[in-house]
Structure 1
Amino acid sequence: MAIRQGLLALLSQGPRYGYQLRAEFEASTGATWPLNIGQVYTTLSRLERDGLVSPGEQDEQGRVVYSITEAGRAEMERWFGTPVAQSDRPRDELVIKLALAVTAVTDVRPIIQAQRTATMRTLQAFVRARHASAENPAQRLVLDSMIFQAEAEQRWLDHCEAVLTAATRPQGPADAEHLTTDVPTPEHPNA
């Protein structure tokens, strides 16, 4: 998600100044995406340049309150109406790391185990945070997504270990048939 669309979504609820936007953005995302205040003001400047927000007058403390424009509302609605494509998401460093480890390292199992342990700790922290944020639906949705992703990562790590274990077995004619039936495959409707 681009920060600009997140700020537009928050501004659609009413005028706000930079520090309010930062605090509300972090609260809405369960503090999983901390923003630097410089990012907020740089983004607001670009949104103003693009005609998506308009600044108000400075208050007595020198803060400028921004409002969303009609063009900004249209941009926000376009963003909400457009599904996020898999290709739009950043590359998965863990996948790349394990693929390169299989090429460069003799025994990848310690790498998988270290990641499994770290992912389990993260999963437990997400579950605790979800219980603490039960009253905030936005935070709950973000944390649920992160929990599901961590659970999927655990399953994928199990799958990696099974595939690599099967690949290191000696392969004779009897083993080739055994390999095709014992190696778990991802559970996917199109697989």
Structure 2
Amino acid sequence: MSLRHAVLGLLSEGPASGYDLLKLFDVSLSHVWPATQSQLYGELGKLAEAGLVSVSAEGPRGRKEYAVTEAGLAELRHWITGVEATQVTRSDMLLRVFFLAQVDPEQARAYLRRQAELVAERLERLRGVQALLQGDQDNLSVYGTIVLEYGLRLGAAQQEWAEWAAGQIHQPPAQTGLKADPGRALSDPADQ
């Protein structure tokens, strides 16, 4: 996804100013695809130059309202229905977890407990957004609720995992003199 498609998607629901779009981002897309004011206004300029949006109205103090063009709708629809290449998901947090053996076990547990707390905080914010959307039947609310539910379910799973993972960290076993053979591939215990 790109900011370009997020802006086109929001404008496909109706004309809006940059300020209006920023407010919409704050209550709908910021948990999926955050954007700053400068990024948003910069993208609006690029979209206008590309003919994907146009200024539909101008108000006092230079306020501009933008509308998606037919070319913009075509771009959005092409992006929505396009086939995504399989991507490897990168996670800074999981990379850190992979190397937690390099810190004291209590530090490792604290790191994982903090991850659970961070997810709990994010879930609380999402529940606040969920309360705002209840009962609304416009497109952004209906499909936003579907995306929000994904975030809530994923967050619950992440929180449960982090709490479980913290419980898996024990004091390191006494050194036995055995070292891992880096040339040996990890194998499934069922193969042995």
Give TM-score, length-normalised by structure 2: 0.69
**SS of alignment partner, residue 134 of structure 2:** coil
In the TM superposition, 1:150-165 aligns within 5 A as: 150-158=155-163, 160-161=165-166, 164-165=169-170
**SS of alignment partner, residue 66 of structure 1:** strand
Structure 1 contact 53–67 (Cα < 8 Å) conserved: yes
Structure 1 contact 57–64 (Cα < 8 Å) conserved: yes
Q: After the TM superposition, which segments of 4 or more aligned residues of structure 1 sit over 6 Å from their partners?
A: none
- Structure 1: distance between partners of 2:15 and 2:122: 36
**Greater length-normalized contact order (CA 8 Å, ≥ 6 residues apart):** 2
**SS of alignment partner, residue 99 of structure 2:** helix
- Structure 2: distance between partners of 1:57 and 1:128: 33
Structure 2 contact 113–166 (Cα < 8 Å) conserved: no
Residue in structure 2 matched with residue 140 of structure 1 by the alignment: 145
Unmatched segments (≥5 aa) in structure 2: 136-140, 177-188
Give TM-score, length-normalised by structure 1: 0.69
Which amino acid in structure 1 is aligned with residue 47 of structure 2?
L
RMSD: 3.3
Seq. identity, %: 26
2:78 counterpart of 1:78: yes
Residue 105 (structure 1) shift: 0.8
- Structure 2: distance between partners of 1:132 and 1:69: 30
Unmatched segments (≥5 aa) in structure 1: 173-179, 182-191
The size of the alignment, in residue pairs, is 170
- Structure 1: distance between partners of 2:68 and 2:10: 9
From the superposition, tell whether residues 79 and 120 of structure 1 become closer, same or farther in structure 2 (CA, over 3 Å).
Answer: same
From the superposition, tell whether residues 10 and 164 of structure 1 become closer, same or farther in structure 2 (CA, over 3 Å).
Answer: same
**SS of alignment partner, residue 151 of structure 1:** helix
From the superposition, tell whether residues 48 and 115 of structure 1 become closer, same or farther in structure 2 (CA, over 3 Å).
Answer: same
